[in-house]
Amino acid sequence: MKLDQKTKALIKRAKVARLATVDQKSHPYVVPVVFVFHENSFFIPLDEKTKTVNPRKLKRVKNIEKNPNVTLLIDKYQNDWKKLFFLMIHGKATLTDAKNSKIMDKVHKLLILKYPQYKKIGIGNFCIKINPTKVTFWNNS
């Protein structure tokens, strides 16, 4: 799925999104995430920020392994409601690791550019990759 330039510009400026997955009992699970967009896919690092379990055992990862259908929500709240917008990206998620070193090298560079904090915190060896199947854009203008 190709995105237009306006949508890509909004994605590039956005610093945080919410990732929604579904568990085996069809219960939604939503977490805030950082991300980059590269070659028509979204990449969410499983980084080295403090976690209670190994990144491969995170609930979002286990959910994706059972059901790859996800939604990524990028939004911006403004006090001026004429400037409100959101992008809702439905897609199929997979885990990408160092085996895809060419892609991961590029994704890591993009993450460091977008989030300088990664110069001090490890990005990790895995990313969630989302291939969009449907994108909904809404704004209040």
Query: Phi and psi (nearest 5°) for 129?
Result: -110, 125
Spans of all domains in the chain: 5-139
Range with the lowest mean pLDDT among 15-24, 50-59, 71-80, 86-95?
50-59
- The mean per-residue pLDDT over the stretch 49-63 comes to 78
Query: Phi and psi (nearest 5°) for 108?
Result: -60, -40
Distance of CA 15 to the CA centre of its chain: 10
The class of domain 5-139 in CATH terms is mainly beta
Mean pLDDT across the chain, nearest whole number? 88
> What region does 39 belong to: left with phi over 0, alpha with psi -120 to 50, or beta?
left
Say what the pLDDT of residue 50 is.
61
Q: What is the pLDDT of residues 80-133, one digit of tens each?
A: 888 788 899 999 999 988 676 788 889 999 999 999 998 888 778 889 999 999
